[in-house]
Every structure is written in C-alpha cells, then in structure tokens.
Amino acid sequence: MNSDIYQQGIKSLAAARLACEPLERPDAQVTLDNPLCGDRVTVAIKLQEGGAMALSYKVKGCLLCQAAMNAIGAAASEGSSLSGLDDVAEQLSSMLKGESTQSRWPPKWQSLALFEPVAAHKNRHSCVLLPFKAVAQAQAVAVKAI
C-alpha cells in the first residue's frame, strides 16, 4: 500500500491540538465543507490590536485537512497577523499543481513542505486548501465587520 502522503511528519502535524479553545465573541466565524469527501472546517477569528489575530478552529475532516489546519494554527500561535496568508495559500496551491518545486517557505510556514507528496494526488488538493479558504473568508468577514 503506497502511503507516500501519510508520512510521520504529516501525521504528527495532523495530530497536534492547536487553537481548539473557543473564542469569546469572535469577529467572524466561517464553516466550509468539501462536498466531495465530507471535510468540514469551522474557523473563528478575533482581531487584536496591532494587527494580530486570535484563531480557533474545529476540523471534522481527513488527515490532510487536519494537518493543513494545524499548520495555520501553528503559524497563528506565534502571534502572527497571518497577513500574508493569501500569498502562502497561492504558493501552496502552486506547489500542489506541480508548478513550483522546492518552494522556499517563510520560517513559520516550513511545515507546508510536508504536503509536497500530495501534488501527485489531484483529488486531495482540496483537502489541503480548504482550511486556507476558510481562514481567508473569516478574515474578510472580520475586516468587513470592523
């Protein structure tokens, strides 16, 4: 059984329990589904002073979806504003499409390199990208609400 995408690094990342505590009065909450496979991601964010952001999420999804969500959670837990999330998501998408290999990731996004083997499995790309879409949507909703 070829388990190239289920390496220990991905499994560890998926198993991490980050940003699970619910936020009090979040500025935005977004739930996105991947109807093909049944992944569901719920993201809540609360904007903080200085552009920082508190993040909380819940994933009912596959291992790849959980790992991707935790990659974002880890980046956010370092006090980031996640302001460059769109660029990171684009770079990730590009890597999955095989358009760019050996990507140079910003320091707090190094774990995204673990997803490189997923490129060969087109039907799994949406699993990895769903959390990025959810956070981006939540960010947009929160900014609009201010």
Partner 1 sequence: MHSLAESHAEILAEILAENYADGDALSSDLRQQFPLLSETIQGHPLAYLDSAATTPMPQPVIDALVHFETHCRANIERSSHTLACRATDAYQLARQQVASYLGVEDAEQIVFSSGATASINLVAQGLAEQLRPGDEILVSAAEHHSNLIPWQRLRDTRGIILKTIPLTSEGRLDLAGLDKLLTSRCRLIAVTHASNVTGAITDVQSIVRAARRVGAWVLLDGAQAAAHGPLDLPALGVDFYAFSGHKCFGPTGVGVLWGRAECLQVLTPLKVGGGMVEAVTLEQASFKGGYRRFEAGTPPIAQAVALGAALEWLQGLPWHQLREQQRRLSKKLLSGLRAVPGLRLLGPGLVDAGSLGSESLGRGSLENRLPIFSFEIEGMHSHDICHLLDQRGVALRGGKHCAQPLHAAFDMTATSRASIGLFNNTADIDALLEGLWLARKILL
Give the binding site for partner 1 (CB under 8 A): 1-3, 5-6, 11, 35-40, 60-65, 121, 123-124, 127
The CB-of-49 to partner 1 minimum distance in angstroms stands at 36
The CB-of-73 to partner 1 minimum distance in angstroms stands at 18
The CB-of-5 to partner 1 minimum distance in angstroms stands at 8
With both helix axes pointing from N to C terminus, report the angle between 8-15 and 63-77 in degrees, rounded to the nearest 10.
70
H-type alpha helices, 23-113: 63-77, 85-96
Choice between 121 and 133, CB closer to partner 1: 121
Residue 86, both tokens: 């769109």
Choice between 66 and 111, CB closer to partner 1: 66
Choice between 53 and 127, CB closer to partner 1: 127
The CB-of-14 to partner 1 minimum distance in angstroms stands at 9
Choice between 37 and 136, CB closer to partner 1: 37
| CB of 85 closer than 8 Å to CB of 137 | no
Nearest-angstrom CA–CA distance, 73 and 114? 16
Residue whose C-alpha is closest to residue 43's, from 64, 62, 18, 63: 18
Count Cβ atoms below 10 Å from residue 79 Cβ, excluding itself. 12
